[in-house]
Amino acid sequence: MANIGVVTTATNNQVIFRNYVNGFPKESDLYIAASTVDLRVPPGSMAVLVKNLYLSCDPHSRTRMGKPDPSSPASMAHAFTIGKPISGFGVAKAIDSGHPNYKTGDLLWGRVGWEEYSVITPTPSSHFKIHHTDVPLSFYTGLLGIPGLTAYIGFYEICSPKKGETVFVSAASGAVGQLVGQFAKMAGCYVVGSASSEEKVDLLKTKFGYDDAFNYKEEKDLSAALKRCFPEGIDIYFENVGGKMLEAVLENMRTHGRIAACGMISQYNLKKPEVLHNTATIVHKRIRVQGFAAVEFFDRYSKFLDFILPHVREGKLTYVEDISQGLENGPSALIGLFHVAAGNKIGLYKL
C-alpha cells in the first residue's frame, strides 16, 4: 500500500547554459529553468542526493563557456553543455545517500551543479566531507576551499618565500589575492597589491595588511608603478591577471624570481589573446614561471586545513565575502565577476 503524503520528488531550479560565448559573457547566456528531482537515490547506487547551500562564483567558469574543440576530448569534457546546468564548486547537505561514506545530514563541499539539488557520486578527488562546522559554511567555497588552497599552494609550495623578500599580487582584493597578501606578511615579506578601484586599494591596506597597493586603472605606466613600489625589484609574483600586467612585472622581476600563475582574467573575454612581448626576460633573469590548478593538489588539503584553521579560529586571517542570495541571482553574480571583483558566492539556503 502506498504511503499517503510522502513526498518523493521536488522542483529543482537550475542555471542553464544557453549558448557558447565569444567575448564578454552576458546574463542572457544563462537562464533559470525548473526540473523535477527524485528525493531518493536508486537502490544499490553509490550516488548522493544533496541540497546545495552555497555555490562559488569563479572567473575560471568563463573558460568553460567557449565553444570546445571537437577534436580534443579534454576540451569537450571541460566545456559547459548547451541546455544543461552549469557546474562548479559548492557546499551541500546530503538528503539521501547510497554511498557508504556519506549519510543523510552530512555536510560536504566539492563539485556540484548550479541547481537547488544535485545528484553526485563522491570521489576523494572531487568531494570533501566537512568536519569543522565551528566556522562559517560559506568559507568552504572560499577561505577553506579552492581559493584558499590556491593561495596556499601557489605561495608556499610554488613560490617558496623567504623572509624579507618582495611580493606582488595582482587582482589582490579577490578571493585568492586577499589571502596571498596575508600569507606574505606571515612569512615576513614586503607585499604590494593591485586592484581596480580606490575602495579596493584601501581594503588591501587597511583590512588585508598589504604594505602598499595601487589602482592599476589610474596608472598610465604599469612598469613605472611597479618600479615605484619595488625600487629593487620583485622576488615573487602571484599572477591572476596576465596581459599588460604580466609584461610590466617581467620588467621588474629580480634574478631568480618566481611567478605562480593561477589565472589570467584579463585574457578570458578576448576574442584574440594578447601577445606577450618581453618573454626573453624569463631567460635572462632565470625566472621560474609555473602555472597550476588547485585541483591537482587535493592530496595536500588535510595539510592545508591543519595550517589554516588555527589562524581562522584565532582571528589572525581576514576574509571578505560577497554573497548574493538565491539561485535566481546566479547569472548576474557570475557575470558580475568580469565587471566588479572576483570572489563572489551565491547563498542558496541557510541551515
Which residue ranges make up each domain of the chain? 9-142+319-350, 146-295
With contact defined as beta carbons under 8 Å apart, do 262 and 292 qualify? yes
Q: Is 44 left (phi over 0), alpha (psi -120 to 50) or beta?
A: left
Fold type of domain 9-142+319-350: Quinone Oxidoreductase; Chain A, domain 1 (3.90.180)
What is the pTM for the complete model shown? 0.91
Alpha-carbon distance values, 141 to 52, 130, 216, 319 (Å) = 12, 12, 27, 12
Question: Among 49-53, 72-76, 163-167, 251-255, where is mean pLDDT lowest?
Answer: 72-76
- Burial of 17: CB neighbours in 10 Å, binned 0-12, 13-18, 19+: buried
Which cell numbers hold the place of 296?
Answer: 591537482
Distance (Å, whole) CA 99 – CA 30: 32
pLDDT tens, 113-166? 999 999 999 998 889 999 999 999 999 999 999 999 999 999 999 999 999 999
How confident is the prediction for the chain on average, in pLDDT?
92
Write down the pLDDT at residue 275.
Answer: 83
Distance (Å, whole) CA 172 – CA 167: 11
pLDDT tens, 78-91? 899 999 999 999 99
CATH of 146-295, one of 2.60.40.420, 3.40.640.10, 3.30.1360.180, 3.40.50.720: 3.40.50.720
Instruction: Supply the Cα-derived Rg of the chain in whole angstroms.
Output: 21
